[in-house]
Homo-oligomer: A and B are copies of this chain.
């Protein structure tokens, strides 16, 4: 990384040695500034919509979606194009953006987790009408009610925290910085000298290489064998001891990391396609999206499994409830495994191997 930042075009094969003089066509700085401007505009639009949403849950959700999308893309652009930004600036601001995205998104993540677990409980209860109440057995119904209670509470807390955050000085500092990005991004002087059509593909390739390296470290050869039973290896290890190291979380972490890198790679391609008006590569974009979706599913199932395990640690629950939560936990861990399998396939297509 450090070495590459001195020579961002290092990976481009061709004649870059003429760089110092301002080249024909747009500079990398111009393109990056325009991309950041677009995303900052989206961010401010999201912010306005949020302020106006009042008690309208749908508007608030749309505002959060806009905000998170813009935050992720700004953050992505800063990471991918770090060499074009004033040194030190991107890192610190990246942390603030991550905090904001997490804070704004947590409420919706809780809601999605609950919906996923509710759906799984119904699926696991077979075609409705066969069991008792709503097609659910007593254990499944109680497990559902317990998860409902716990995740609704978490959601309410996340909602309050997000509202509080959006009124904080910390948030206003972030919003100010986004406004600055929109008009006067702190670009490195080199950004104006380098040609976009050469630098941006090189940066996208760099992002791709970083992704490929992280994927190479994944246990993909196992994940590509269906029914390898890997994801549930720790299914009973982290259950009863609340303070034990969460073995499943440790197992999932490198996959979550790859998920971020797929997203960065996708944004890099987006910037390239939109801003450089180069010939877009729809196949590549679609494959990146597919790979990312598999890892989104991985993250969601992983979090849902953890929520089921956490609910099972609630004191004084009935054995039937605990049993249902055990089945649910295992089911979501198999979703984790299925998502890894799907990612393995998507990656094969991305890497171009048959």
Q: What chain B residues lie within 8 Å of A329 (beta carbons)?
A: 323, 326-327, 330
Binds B, one of A8-16, A202-210, A252-260, A334-342: A334-342
Asked if A126 is at the interface (CB within 8 A of a chain B CB), the reply is yes
Q: Which of A185-241 contact B (CB under 8 A)?
A: 226-227, 229, 232-237, 239-241
Q: What chain B residues lie within 8 Å of A237 (beta carbons)?
A: 124-126, 130-131, 135, 137
Q: Which of A135, A235, A329 has the most CB of B within 10 A?
A: A235
What is the size category of the interface that chain A forms with chain B?
35 or more
| A interface SS class | helix
Asked if A57 is at the interface (CB within 8 A of a chain B CB), the reply is no
Q: Is the CB of B121 within 8 A of A227?
A: no
Using a CB–CB cutoff of 8 Å, the interface residues on chain A facing chain B are 121, 123-126, 130-132, 135-140, 226-227, 229, 232-237, 239-241, 244-245, 247, 312, 317-331, 334-335, 337-338, 341
Q: A330-B326, A334-B330 are in contact. Are A239 and B130 (CB under 8 A)?
A: no
15 A–B contact pairs at CB < 8 A?
A125-B234, A126-B233, A126-B237, A130-B244, A131-B237, A136-B236, A137-B239, A226-B227, A227-B335, A236-B327, A239-B320, A312-B320, A312-B323, A330-B330, A334-B334
- Give the top 8 A-B pairs by smallest Cβ distance, nearest first: A326-B326, A330-B330, A227-B338, A226-B226, A319-B322, A126-B237, A323-B326, A322-B323
Q: Which of A136, A236, A239, A321 has the most CB of B within 10 A?
A: A236
CA separation between A137 and B227, bound complex, in Å? 24
Q: Which residue of B is nearest A326, CB measured?
A: B326
Q: Is the CB of B320 within 8 A of A323?
A: no
CA separation between A227 and B245, bound complex, in Å? 28
CA separation between A136 and B320, bound complex, in Å? 21
Q: Is the CB of A226 within 8 A of B341?
A: yes
Q: What chain B residues lie within 8 Å of A323 (beta carbons)?
A: 239, 312, 322-323, 325-326, 329
Q: Is the CB of A239 within 8 A of B334?
A: no
Q: What chain B residues lie within 8 Å of A338 (beta carbons)?
A: 226-227, 229
Q: Is the CB of B327 within 8 A of A319?
A: no
Q: Is the CB of A126 within 8 A of B247?
A: yes
Q: What chain B residues lie within 8 Å of A234 (beta carbons)?
A: 124-126, 130
Q: Which residue of B is nearest A329, CB measured?
A: B327
Min CB distance A304 to B, Å, is 14
CA separation between A192 and B132, bound complex, in Å? 61
Neighbour of A241 across the interface among B131, B318, B330, CB < 8 A = B131
Neighbour of A236 across the interface among B121, B227, B341, CB < 8 A = B121
Neighbour of A229 across the interface among B123, B139, B241, CB < 8 A = B123
Q: Which residue of B is nearest A337, CB measured?
A: B227
Min CB distance A173 to B, Å, is 43
Q: Which residue of B is nearest A235, CB measured?
A: B124
Neighbour of A140 across the interface among B236, B324, B330, CB < 8 A = B236
Q: Which residue of B is nearest A234, CB measured?
A: B126
Neighbour of A326 across the interface among B132, B244, B327, B341, CB < 8 A = B327
Q: Which residue of B is nearest A334, CB measured?
A: B334
Neighbour of A324 across the interface among B132, B229, B239, CB < 8 A = B239
